[in-house]
Amino acid sequence: MKKVLFATTALVATAGVAAADVTFGGYGRFGVMYNDIDGGGDSTDVTSRFRLQIDATAESDMGVTFGARARIQQNNTDDSPTYSVGPDGIAGTADDVNGATGPGGTGINGVRFFARSGGLEVGVGNIYGALEFMPGMYPIDLGLTGLGYDYTAFNDRGDQYSSGGNGAAGSNGVEVLYSFGDFSMHVSASDINDRVAAYGAYTWSGWTIALGAQDSDAATDTDWAASVGGALGFADVTLTYADNGTGGDRAVLAGRFDVGAATDVEVFVADNSDATDGSANGTAYGVDFNHDLGGGTSLRGGVVSRYNDDVRADLGVRFNF
């Protein structure tokens, strides 16, 4: 990530400013994606994304850091985005779903604002969300694109930071994060389905155990989740479970191991059962590779069989900056 320090006359003349900086970073990726739809139909297409992340902070004389995070992101599929407004009735928030035509375009997303001191942080706006931020929810980063993220146990059924919309920013999102030694906790709340979520996590001897829960007005939201992860011999492994309400129960076992000085392989197998809201029940599994090319660049690819028996694969290059 590249840092740019702004020290203008106006900034210097502002009382109470001890330090301020703006950091730019992100990544680009491009390659090909293959989709084989169960029941007929397949396609091979170019896939790409550019993400520019902007982090701005200032520190008060008392040592409290105030800041904001925003992203500018465009995928190759963003030229004509479509979605329908979710239960909160606000376009661009995290509960929107693909469907009817809605406002489109790319640009800056909803901003997350925060205040941090020591191990305590308070965030508002486009919040991270306790369940998405919980250890074990993203145990791997499959292929070039994530390939559907079927290895994410809570299945996006809670508040989360939105790269392309407002997230909970349009619905009064707020969260508190705290860490002390090997213990961490996170509580978040928003007006989206009146969600209140929290997790606690503890790390001991290289293993992290986490337990999370959520109260919500929507039967489709996650009720509770648990995870354990750490190093087991030559591999890093994670086991995660989530009770996703009418979305069923999802259990995920994922691992990552090195196969060379610059190459690692990731694998997962997951089961989704007892869904009554139309979500697919079944088993998903996948494998990928990530080869480090140096200088923040990598060659990535993977293949996954999804819960609905669709097959998806991708291959391409990612470069971080």
Which pLDDT band, with edges at 50, 70 and 90, does 89 fall under? Answer: low
Q: Phi/psi of residue 88, each to 5°?
A: -75, -10
Q: What is the mean pLDDT of the chain?
A: 89
Q: Point out the least confidently predicted range of 70-79, 150-159, 259-268.
A: 70-79
Domain ranges of the chain: 2-320
- Does residue 155 or residue 171 have the better pLDDT? 155
Write the pLDDT tens digit of every residue in 164-222.
888 899 889 999 999 999 999 999 999 999 999 999 999 999 999 999 999 999 999 99
Which whole number is the average pLDDT over 286-292? 98
CA-nearest of 301, 303, 151, 145 to 229 is 151
Distance CA 315, CA 287 (A): 12
Report the C-alpha gap between 74 and 157 in whole angstroms.
24
Tens of pLDDT along 20-58?
Answer: 799 999 999 999 999 998 877 899 999 999 999 999 999
pTM (predicted TM-score): 0.85
Amino acid at 87: P
Cβ(124)–Cβ(174) below 8 Å: yes
For residue 235, is pLDDT > 80?
yes
Q: Which amino acid is at 241?
A: Y
Whether the CA torsion 72, 75, 76, 81 is positive or negative: it is negative
- Which fold would CATH assign to domain 2-320? Porin (2.40.160)
